[in-house]
Structure 1
Amino acid sequence: MNQRTPRRSLFAALAALAASALAYLQPARAHAGDAEACFTASEEGQRLRDEGQLREARARFISCGSAACPALVRSDCAGWLSDVTARLPTLILSAEDEQGQDVADVQVTVDGAPLAARLDGKAVEVDPGEHVLRFERAGSAPVALRLVVREGEKLRRISTRLVRSATPGGAAGAPREDRAASSPASALLLPIALGGVAAAGSVAYAALGLSARADADRLRTTCAPRCAEADVDAVRTKIVGANIAFGIGVAALGGAVAALLLRRADPAAPAAAAAVHVVPLPGGAAAALGARF
């Protein structure tokens, strides 16, 4: 019994030493595995960034920027993450029903992949490039929008109108192709342009009218009734010009109001094309507004 005791003690000491060594090596192996994963995420993030897949690249840079990664890798990934975040475009999606009311229970996909399960007014991120957005709502015909998203473009507004499906039960058929309404400002280009013409016409009317009145008063006090014909014609020309400017201003103002009313009545309608026609008449002018909708 006494001879076996030293052997048992030796075996116990060796077992304890082996256990200690294994416990020491396991964290080292785990740490090496974490470092390798960090380097892999860093390399994949750079590749995805260069391919334009900024959303996936950002996820990789977040991974290799964690506290478990080496300091040098964390520093590089943090810089790349900031750059990719600044370049990543965002969209604000919205949809209306047939009455022009906002609807939220709409699902949106981008190139067939889920993008938004519901329209909550928050910005969503997409990669730069050409995409197809598909809006779907129960009971409505799906709508597909084609658009090109630019790198670094932030908070671009994309809206569409959903109409009731013509198929029984509201089954989703082929999507209606629609243009991307990037910004409400695009619908105001015509009213703004016509408003500018109206303002310019008013200024020209006032300037020419005041100048003609001043010249007429000067002729009355200096040479009337035997003033030179050229001086009288100059006054008449200014009066005609003032009348033409007034007619253009009134016609443009009416066109701007009409365009605003038409866009409000049907925001999905194509932009109206308008033209102002002015016909000089003896002692003045006649103006008319033509429009194609």
Structure 2
Amino acid sequence: MKRGFLVAIGAAVTLLAGTRARAQGVGEACAASYEQAQQLVRDRALLRARAELRLCASSCPAALARDCQRWSKGVERDMPSVALSATSAEGRAPGRVRVLLDGAPLVEAIPKDPIEVDPGRHTLTFEDAAGTSVVAVVTVSPGDKALPIAVRFPAAPPPGAAAPVRPRWPLVLASAGAVALGVGAFLGVKGHIDRSELRGRCAPGCTASEVEAISLVWKAGAISAGAGLVAAGVGTVLYFQLDPVVPAAPSAGSAVLPDGAALSLRGSF
């Protein structure tokens, strides 16, 4: 009998301790969501604030829960939304369009209903299935509802408009080599002329400095001619061996924003 009584007391103590621990845990969640929600509202991070306010309303005592419910009404009133749309250059539906908000994925396809976003300045990137992108920068104010953001994708370049071209830098290298060859030939001819003039003027009693000056001209000519020959040869070979490239054809799409129209460059990925 005594043993059974002690077991019952122990079970009751354990149950009370568990209940207290659970209550303490709920209190911590309430305090964290109550404080965090207020800070998020001040920071205009309304999407996250709404989630914290819902947690606060469900986990806090009645007095605090009423505060969270009151703040939730203000958040719902100020929560802005944008209505996205996109068309092709011909005015048709461009198919599946992915949208990024400030570099992070927002939707994989444009929905019919408006999308809620936090207030502030945002960069919206629209990408079609071909990898073409149009960028719209817009400022969303608290309370904006279904703010229209419409973009038009640029037209694709006509067939054959961008013909493959060979890289130009090998030609630059070959041209520089040709110039160096010309300089080397000039210095070589100058050295011969200077040597003939020196022989007629002072041979065999010319000074060592006069002879050395002509030698330096010949050396410089030989170095220039050698380097030019290598550069010209390498540039010529690379020009014909490198694969031609197709230059990107720049075009622009348009983004019609609430405060006017803006242009954005087309990009392919």
> How high is the TM-score relative to the length of structure 2?
0.57
Residue 128 of structure 2 aligns with which residue?
Answer: 137
Tell me the distance in 2 between the aligned counterparts of 1:53 and 1:178: 31
Alignment pair present for 1:51 and 2:43: yes
Alignment pair present for 1:78 and 2:69: yes
Shift of 1:97: 1.7
Equivalent AA in structure 2 for residue 182 of structure 1: L
Alignment pair present for 1:91 and 2:82: yes
Tell me the distance in 2 between the aligned counterparts of 1:45 and 1:156: 25
Given the alignment, which residue of 159, 165, 183 partners 2:150? 159
Residue 30 of structure 1 aligns with which residue?
Answer: 22
Higher relative contact order (CA 8 A, sep 6+): 2
Residue 186 of structure 2 aligns with which residue?
Answer: none
- Aligned with 1:147: secondary structure? strand
Shift of 1:158: 0.3
Give the aligned CA root-mean-square deviation in angstroms.
3.0
Q: Measured at CA, do residues 111 and 142 of structure 1 come closer, stay the same or move farther in structure 2, by a change above 3 Å?
A: same
CA contact (8 A) 1:139 1:164 kept: no
Q: Measured at CA, do residues 82 and 180 of structure 1 come closer, stay the same or move farther in structure 2, by a change above 3 Å?
A: farther
Q: Which structure 2 residues correspond to residues 107-122 of structure 1 after superposition, within 5 A?
A: 107-122=98-113
Given the alignment, which residue of 3, 10, 14 partners 1:11? 3
Tell me the distance in 1 between the aligned counterparts of 2:133 and 2:124: 10
Tell me the distance in 2 between the aligned counterparts of 1:155 and 1:50: 23
Residue 256 of structure 2 aligns with which residue?
Answer: 181
User: Which string of whole-angstrom CA distances, capped at 9 and with x for unpartnered residues, describes residues 136-164 of structure 1?
Assistant: 12114111111111111111100101246
CA contact (8 A) 2:151 2:256 kept: yes
Tell me the distance in 2 between the aligned counterparts of 1:135 and 1:77: 36
- Which 5+ residue runs of structure 1 have no aligned equivalent? 1-8, 168-172, 188-266, 269-293
Shift of 1:92: 0.3
- Aligned with 2:92: secondary structure? coil
- Aligned with 2:111: secondary structure? coil
The farther-off stretch of 24-33 and 141-150 is: 24-33
CA contact (8 A) 1:141 1:164 kept: no
Tell me the distance in 2 between the aligned counterparts of 1:76 and 1:156: 30
Tell me the distance in 2 between the aligned counterparts of 1:58 and 1:10: 55
Tell me the distance in 2 between the aligned counterparts of 1:164 and 1:26: 67
Tell me the distance in 1 between the aligned counterparts of 2:66 and 2:22: 21
- Aligned with 2:256: secondary structure? coil
Equivalent AA in structure 2 for residue 91 of structure 1: V
Tell me the distance in 1 between the aligned counterparts of 2:149 and 2:6: 71
Tell me the distance in 2 between the aligned counterparts of 1:113 and 1:57: 19
Residue 127 of structure 1 aligns with which residue?
Answer: 118
CA contact (8 A) 1:130 1:148 kept: yes
CA contact (8 A) 2:86 2:93 kept: yes
Higher Rg? 2
The farther-off stretch of 89-98 and 99-108 is: 99-108
Tell me the distance in 2 between the aligned counterparts of 1:100 and 1:55: 34
CA contact (8 A) 1:103 1:119 kept: no
Shift of 1:125: 1.1
Tell me the distance in 2 between the aligned counterparts of 1:87 and 1:111: 20
